[in-house]
A and B are shown apart, each in its own frame.
Chain A
Amino acid sequence: MRQHSVLDRYLGPLNGPHTMGRGVAFWVGFVVVVAVLASFPEYMRRYDIINLSNFLISGFLALSLSLIWGYCGVLSLGQAAFHGIGGYAYGIVALNLFNAHGNTDIAFFAGIVVPVVFAAIIGGVMFFARLRGVYIAILMLVVSLLIGTFMRQTADPSYTIGAAYLGGMNGLRPASVDDPLLPSLIFGLGETVIELDGRRPAFFYFVLGLLVAVYLGLRCLVNSSYGYWLVGCREDPNRTETFGYDVRLIQLGVFCIAAAIAGLSGVLYTAWGTYIHPDGFGVAPNILVVIWVAVGGRKDLGAAIAGAIVLEWVSLRLAAEGEIAFLVLGAILVGVMLIAPNGLGITIGDYIRRGHDRAIAWVRAR
C-alpha cells in the first residue's frame, strides 16, 4: 500500500483499488487530456465543438451505466430511459417556468430529481422483490420501450402539460405561440444570469467542467467504503448479505445515483439541442449506451467515458459513409466481448500498468 505521499494527501479519496490509475503519471496524463479538450474551442470549427459537446454529454450516460453495471453488477438495458425522462422533465418544467423566472434553475434540478423518483419506485419494487439480474436488465428495456411507445402517440393536442405540448413523434414543443420556445440552460443567481447556449463554447466548457466534476466525484464514491459494498454486491450478493449489509438498499441507492447522472445527461442533451423526442427511448439509444460501456470497460469510470467519446466520434464519422454505423458498432461490440471481455480501455490500461511497473522495477534494479 505504498503511495506517493503528496499525491496521497491531496488525492487520497480519489485513488483506490476500484479505479485505474493512481500514480503521478496518471494524474499528469489526466490533466493534459482535460487541458487539450478545454483548448479545442480555440482552434476547432464551431461545428466540431457542438458535436464534441454532445459526445461529452454521452459521457455522463456512460458513467451512469458503468456505475450500476460495472461496479454493482446490475445491468440495465434501458438506461437511456432515465436520460429521456430527465430530458422531458427539464423541457416540460422549463417551458412552464421560463416566462415567469427567466431562468432554468428549477428545470435543471427537475431533470435530475424526476428520474431519481422514477428509479426509486421501479428499483424499489425490483430489488425488494429480489428479481434476478437478467430480468431486471430486460425489464428496464421493456420499460424504456413502453415509455417510448406512449410518448410517440402523444401527437393529440390534448397531451399538454401547462405550456408544454408533448407533441408525439415531433417531440416536445410549446403548447401555443405565446409560450416560450424550449430554452438552453440559463442559470440565474440573484441578479446574475448565465446563459449557456448549446452552440457556443461556454456550453462546451460547462459540460466539460461538469463531466470532470462528476467523474472525480464518482471516483471518490467508488473508492470509499460504499464502493467496496458495491463491489461486494457485484461479486457475491448473498455473501455480502451475510455480513449484515442490506444488499437491496445498496442496489437501490446506486440505481438512483445512476438515474440522477443519466437524468443530468438528458437535461444537458435537451438544453444542447433545445429538443427532445421519443426516439430517445427506443432500442438504438439504449443499445448505444451498453456498447460504449462494454467496449470502453464497464469496471472503470474513465474507460466508460473514453468508450462513449471515442465511439460517438466513430459513429459520426461512419454516418458520413451511409447507414453502416450501427452495423460497425455491433461488430465492434461483439468483437471486443470476444477478445477483451473487460473492455478495450481496461485491457489497454492493464498493459500500461504492467509496462509501468516493469519499467520501475528495471530502474530500481540499476
Chain B
Amino acid sequence: MDVAADVFSYAYQYFDNIGFLILSASGLIIIFGMMGVINMAHGELMMIGAYITAFSYHAGVPAPLAIIFAGIGAGLAGMVLERLVIRHFYKQLLSSLVVTWGLSLMISQGFLLIFGPTILNVPTPFGNFPVAEQTFGIYRLVLFGGALAIVAGVWAVFTFTKFGTHARATMEDPDMADALGVNTRNIYVLTFGIGAAMGGVAGGMFALTATISPFFGINYTPLAFITVVVGGGANVITGLLSSVMALASVQTAVNNLVNVYVGYIAMMGAAFFILLLLPRGISEYLERRKIRTERKVSRSAPA
C-alpha cells in the first residue's frame, strides 16, 4: 500500500510539474517559438494576469471568469507593448532581449509603486483528497487539465482558423504573406496578443495557488524561456510537450531524492545538456527522425 501511495505521489508531482511548466511556457511558445521574439517581460504579463484575477476575485467575480479577465487584460497589455516597442526589434534578437527586460523592470516596478509590496492571496478552490496517509490538492490536477486544454486550443487556432493559416504564413515568410494580401501588421499584433493573453491566463491560474506580488513574474520568465528553447521551433506543440516531459521528470526525480533547490538546478542542467546535444531543440530532432522514417517507408514500398 505504501509503495502504491508513493507511486501515486510521484505521478501526482510529475503531472503537477508538467502542468506548471506548460502553463509558464504556453504564451512564450507563440511569442518566441513562432515569432522569434524574445520577451523577457513575459513573466510580468503573467503577473498582470495574476493581479487582475486577484482583484476581480476579491470584487466578487467567480474565479473562472476572473481568469478570463486576466487573459483579456494581459492580451491587451501585450498588444500595446507590441505596437509601442517590440515591433521595432523584430530580427534583432539581442536588442529585443534587452528592451523587453527593460519593459519587465518598468512593469514590475510600476506595480510596486501602485500596489505596494503587499502580497495578495486567492484561496485555492476544490480542497484536497487523501491517498493513503497523504493528501493531494485537487486544483493541481485542474491546472494540469487546463494546461493541456490551452495547448490543444493553441493547436486548434493555428491549424484550423483562417487567422492561424495567415499567421503561419507570416511567420514563415513575411514578405511573401504581405504580397499575398495578408495584413502582416495585424497578424503580428494579434499573435503577440494571443501569446500575452495565454501568459495572463496562466498567471491567473497560478494566482489561485501562489502568492502574488510585483515580483511574481521574475520566477517564471527564465523557466518559460528554457522550456521553449529545449522544445525548439520545428514543431511548437510536440516541442513543448517533449521538453516539458523531459524537464519535469528530471525535476520530479531530483526533488524527491534531494530537495527542491537541487531539483531546480538539475532541471536547468538537463536543459543545458539537451541544448548541447540538440542545439535546435527536441522537436527539430523528432521532425528529422520522422522524415527519415517516412523516407524509408516510401522507399521500401514498391514503386
CB pair A77–B276 under 8 Å, yes or no, is no
Check B222 for interface membership: any CB of A closer than 8 A.
Answer: yes
Interface string of A129-163 (1 = CB under 8 A from B): 11111110111011001100110010000000000
Give Cα distance in the complex from A67 to B110, angstroms: 32
User: Which B residues touch A153, using CB under 8 A?
Assistant: 261
The B interface, classified by DSSP as helix, strand, loop or mixed, is helix
In the complex, which residues of chain B have a beta carbon less than 8 angstroms from the beta carbon of A131?
A: 275-276, 279
User: A334 contacts B99, CB within 8 Å?
Assistant: yes
**What is the size, in residues, of chain B's interface with A at 8 Å between Cβ atoms?**
33
Chain A's interface: helix, strand, loop or mixed, by majority? helix
**Beta-carbon contacts under 8 Å, B245-277 to A:** 261, 264-265, 268, 272, 275-276
Specify the chain B residue showing the minimal Cβ separation from A288: B105
Chain A residues whose C-beta falls within 8 Å of the C-beta of B106 in the assembled complex: 327, 330-331, 334
| A287→B99 contact, CB < 8 A | no
Q: Report if A134-B99 is in contact (Cβ < 8 Å); known contacts: A142-B268, A331-B106, A333-B105.
A: no
Q: Are A129 and B276 in contact (CB under 8 A)?
A: yes
Cβ contact of A138, chosen from B99, B105, B226, cutoff 8 A: B226
Q: In the complex, are the beta carbons of B112 and A149 less than 8 A apart? A: no
Q: Mark out the residues of chain A between 307 and 344 whose CB falls within 8 Å of any chain B CB in the assembled complex.
A: 322-324, 326-327, 329-331, 333-334, 337-338, 341
| Cα–Cα distance between A326 and B102 once the two chains are bound (Å) | 9
Report chain B residues within 8 Å CB of A287: 101-102, 105
B97 adjacent to A137 (CB under 8 Å): yes
Q: Is A291 interfacial (CB 8 A cutoff)? A: yes
Q: B17 → chain A, closest Cβ, in Å?
A: 18
Q: Is A75 within 8 A of B265, CB to CB?
A: no
- Could you tell me the distance between the alpha carbons of A338 and B99 in the complex, rounded to whole angstroms? 9
In-complex Cβ contact of B222 among A141, A150, A330 (8 A): A141
Q: B218: which of A125, A129, A283, A323 is its contact (CB, 8 Å)?
A: A283
Q: Closest CB of chain B to A342's CB: distance in Å?
A: 10
Bound: A133/B225 CA distance, A: 14
A224 smallest CB distance to B (angstroms): 25
- Determine if B98 and A290 form an interchain contact, defined as CB atoms under 8 angstroms apart: yes
Pairwise interchain contact A129-B261, C-beta atoms closer than 8 A: no
* Shortest distance from the beta carbon of B247 to any chain A beta carbon, whole Å: 13
Sample 18 A-B pairs with CB under 8 A, ordered by A number.
A75-B97, A134-B97, A135-B229, A137-B97, A138-B97, A145-B222, A146-B265, A146-B268, A290-B98, A294-B98, A326-B109, A327-B105, A330-B109, A334-B85, A334-B102, A334-B106, A337-B95, A337-B99
Please give me the 3 A-B residue pairs with the lowest Cβ-Cβ distance, nearest first. Answer: A330-B105, A333-B102, A330-B106
